[in-house]
Structure formats: C-alpha cells, structure tokens
Amino acid sequence: MTLRFGILTSSDRSSRGERPDLSGPVLRDLITSQGWTVAHTAIVPDDVNALSETLSTWADSGEVDIILTTGGTGFAPRDVTPEATSLVIDRQAPGLVEAMRLESRKVTPHAMLSRALAGMRGKVLIINLPGNPKAAVENFQVVSPILAHAVELLTDNPDAEKHH
C-alpha cells in the first residue's frame, strides 16, 4: 500500500527563515525511502490557529492518509502542537504515543516531557513527533510498521482483517 503523507513543521524560527527546518526533510527522506509519497509539506509558526487550520485543511483534502507534525510537543510556552491537534481530531490514538514515549524513554529521560498526541480526523491519521530530527526519526520508526494497517482500518479496506 502506498501511503500519502503530509509533514507539518511547527517552529517560529524556521517559519521566519531564521534557521533551517531539519526534521521535515529528514522525515521526507525516510518516508520516500519506504516507497511512500509526501503530498504536502509546510512550516508554520508555533501558533494554535496556524497549526489547526493546516491540519484540518490537509486532512479534509483527500490528498493524504497520514499527517506527521514535528515540533511543538514539549513544555515550552510556545509548544502548542498537541493543543492544535486536539482541536481537529475526532478520536485519539493513545497507543501510538504511548509506544513512542516508551521507546524514547530507553534513549533519554527527556521523553517523559513529550506531550505528543495522535488521533484521527475522518480517515486521516495525525501523529505528533518531536522537533529534534534524531528524535523525530526514532519516534517515526516506532510507529511506521503499523501505519499501512492503520490506514486500511481507517478507510474500511476489506483486506484490513487479513493483517490481524
């Protein structure tokens, strides 16, 4: 199954051009190396409205199966990606973030500071990833083995039951 992704980077400095976005391109390379496609990429400020508007527009477009956010999941006052995500999802997918935090905790105690969310809007899965490129990749690798099956289930694909 060819999955279609959106990658949304949340960063005040990167959105202003003050520093390059490192996580978005690393995730794009990882996704395409698996034979999947990236339909949308964007960098927006750490702003609930900018994030939620982009997430809902992409999710409702019919052009993506999965949206990955990177950045804005920590304790800093401007880290608002989970709040923006909670505004647009219909249902949560807590098992995904539980697995990511569990595996990340094996690498660093800072994993406990992650406030990442995952959930569904219609037939689109949205997953918050850390802004650090290394951590974004590590977290994506935790969930990537189940993504095709998750999308099959979300889209009521009759073959989904074969993968249980």
Inside any domain, residue 128: yes
* 82 domain-assigned: yes
- Compute and round to an integer the Cα radius of gyration of the chain: 15
Domain count within the chain: 1
Residue by residue, DSSP assigns 94-150 as HHHHHHHHHHHHTT-GGGGG----EEEETTEEEEEE-SSHHHHHHHHHHHGGGHHHH
77 within some domain: yes
Q: Does the predicted model carry a pTM greater than 0.95?
A: yes
Cβ(82)–Cβ(73) under 8 Å? Answer: yes
Note whether residue 72 is domain-resident.
yes
Q: In this structure, are residues 56 and 90 in contact, taking their beta carbons and an 8 Å threshold?
A: no
- As a whole number, mean pLDDT of residues 57-85 equals 98
Residue 62 belongs to a domain with what CATH number?
3.40.980.10
Residue 87 has pLDDT above 90, yes or no: yes
117 in any annotated domain:
yes
- Report the amino acid identity of residue 15: S
Q: Residue 158: is its pLDDT beyond 90?
A: no
Whether 124 and 62 have beta carbons less than 8 Å apart is answered as: no
| 29-67 pLDDT per residue, tens | 999 999 999 999 999 999 999 999 999 999 999 999 999
Is the residue at 1 inside a domain?
A: no
pLDDT-derived band at 1 (thresholds 50, 70, 90) equals confident
Evaluate whether residue 49 is within a structural domain: yes
Residue range(s) defining the domain that contains residue 114 = 28-163
Query: How far apart are the C-alpha atoms of 150 and 155, rounded to whole Å?
Result: 9
The answer to the question of residue 103 being in a domain is yes
